[in-house]
Structure 1
Amino acid sequence: MLFHYHLWTPNVEATEQFYEKLGFTVTQRIGKTDGAFTAFDPPLTWDDFRDDGIRFRIIEMKRGAINVTFGHGKVVRFDHLGFLVTPEQRTLLLERAQQMGWTIQANERRTFIQTPYACRIELQTHHDAILSDDQPLKRIQLSTKQVGFEQELQRLFGRAIDKVTTVPGNHTVLQQVIFMGEDIEAVDPNGVSVRQIQLPVVADKHL
């Protein structure tokens, strides 16, 4: 299940505020201060540390079946997208990634596959990465300089991944995300088009 994406951005606080307005909850903030990484998780707010010069490595926000993370960067840059998989699926995917010649970075919590498309794929087996199965991430659209990402995803997963689409571009950029929820169209502080859609209500024929 596609559940996640990660950005680097100079607009950290504004990005948090944007997603908070969409109903996301901050579950983690890790930032560097005095040469060491420290947690600034809620109930702390930006008023508690805004002027402390913290460089945030990661801020994690969750809503339903969606997990969004971002950290401080000099420019906006898309880093990776993530799939929630079973341990058995993870083993199979890593075998295929090795056959494809893709680099694997793994630890107890997360596994990353480095692709030739200037982005990574995260494989997550821990279900606590999401809050629930509600309001899933419906689609991600990327622009990529090198064509063929969708075909390579199909080769990796053994099936078409229709929730990930690409268009030609000069760089790998996250262009659009589509969620389930109240109908909204907006652009986040990093230029990502965010669209929420509601499923149409089907009338009960027996009424």
Structure 2
Amino acid sequence: MLFHYHFWTPFVEETEKFYVENGFVISQRIGRYEGEFQKFNPPLKWDDFREKNILFRIIEARKGTINITFGYGKKIMFDHIGFFVSKKEQMKICENANKLNWKVDKGERRTFFATPYNFRIELQTNEDAIDSLNHQVKIQELKLATKKAGLESDLFALFGNSSYNISSEVGDVVTIKQAVIKNLVSSPIVDPNGVEITID
């Protein structure tokens, strides 16, 4: 199940506000302050820490099966997409990634693949990464821009017969052009990082 995407962005507060206004809940904020990583989780609000010059490593917004994260970057940069899979599926997908000669970084909580398309793919097996397995609110489709063709065929080789409704077009910047989200409140809208969101 496609459940996740991550951006680095100079528009951290604006990105959080955008997703909250569209029904997402902030589950965590972790940032570097005075030389160490600290939590600024809700119920803290931006008015409580806006003046503290925090470099946010991750802010997590959740709704249904969707988990969107973002952190501070000097420019907008798409980092990765994520899939929620079973442990059995994870093993097979890792084998397929090795056949593609993609670097596999298997961590304790999640696994990442470095793709030749200048973004990463995450595999997540822990149910606590999402609020609900109820598919009423979910990412139905993603349209990516990549600098080279071939993504769809590589994703088919990676995931086998599973269809995750990801399409791509060749462009100058690697990013998510469009996210189709089932049962979101309003449509179409564009987040501060240029992702056009439409509802199914």
Alignment TM-score, normalising by the size of structure 1: 0.92
Sequence identity percentage: 46
Give 1:1-207 correspondences, 5 Å limit: 1-132=1-132, 133=134, 134-159=136-161, 161-181=163-183, 182-197=185-200
Decide which moves more: 120-129 or 131-140.
131-140
Q: Which runs of 5+ in 1 are unaligned?
A: 198-207
- Report how far residue 183 of structure 1 moved: 4.5
- In 2, the alpha carbon distance for the partners of 1:31 and 1:125 equals 25
| Amino acid of the structure 1 residue aligned with 2:197 | V
| Paired residues of 2:22 and 2:186 also in contact (CA < 8 A) | no
Distance 1:167 1:106, change over 3 A: same
| Amino acid of the structure 2 residue aligned with 1:99 | K
- Report how far residue 192 of structure 1 moved: 1.1
Say which one has the larger Rg: 1
Q: How big is each residue's C-alpha offset from its partner over 1:85-114, in whole Å with a ceiling of 9 and x where there is no partner?
A: 000110111111111110011211111011
| Paired residues of 1:153 and 1:160 also in contact (CA < 8 A) | no
- Report how far residue 156 of structure 1 moved: 0.5
- Report how far residue 74 of structure 1 moved: 0.6
| Paired residues of 1:9 and 1:190 also in contact (CA < 8 A) | yes
- In 2, the alpha carbon distance for the partners of 1:183 and 1:192 equals 14
- Report how far residue 5 of structure 1 moved: 0.4
- Report how far residue 161 of structure 1 moved: 2.9
The equivalent of 1:204 in structure 2 is none
| Amino acid of the structure 2 residue aligned with 1:164 | I
Q: Which runs of 5+ in 2 are unaligned?
A: none
Q: Which has the higher contact order (CA 8 A, sep 6+)?
A: 2
- In 2, the alpha carbon distance for the partners of 1:35 and 1:184 equals 41
Segments ≥4 residues shifted beyond 6 Å: none
- In 1, the alpha carbon distance for the partners of 2:24 and 2:72 equals 19
| Amino acid of the structure 2 residue aligned with 1:172 | V
| Paired residues of 2:2 and 2:164 also in contact (CA < 8 A) | no
SS in 1 for 2:188: strand
- Report how far residue 159 of structure 1 moved: 2.0
| Paired residues of 1:143 and 1:173 also in contact (CA < 8 A) | yes
- In 2, the alpha carbon distance for the partners of 1:71 and 1:126 equals 21
Q: How big is each residue's C-alpha offset from its partner over 1:129-165, in whole Å with a ceiling of 9 and x where there is no partner?
A: 1111231110111011110001100001112534211
| Amino acid of the structure 2 residue aligned with 1:40 | F
| Amino acid of the structure 1 residue aligned with 2:199 | Q
- Report how far residue 194 of structure 1 moved: 1.0
Decide which moves more: 179-188 or 112-121.
179-188
- In 1, the alpha carbon distance for the partners of 2:46 and 2:37 equals 17
- In 2, the alpha carbon distance for the partners of 1:173 and 1:63 equals 22
| Paired residues of 1:62 and 1:131 also in contact (CA < 8 A) | yes
Decide which moves more: 32-41 or 178-187.
178-187
- Report how far residue 175 of structure 1 moved: 0.7
- RMSD of the alignment, in Å? 1.0
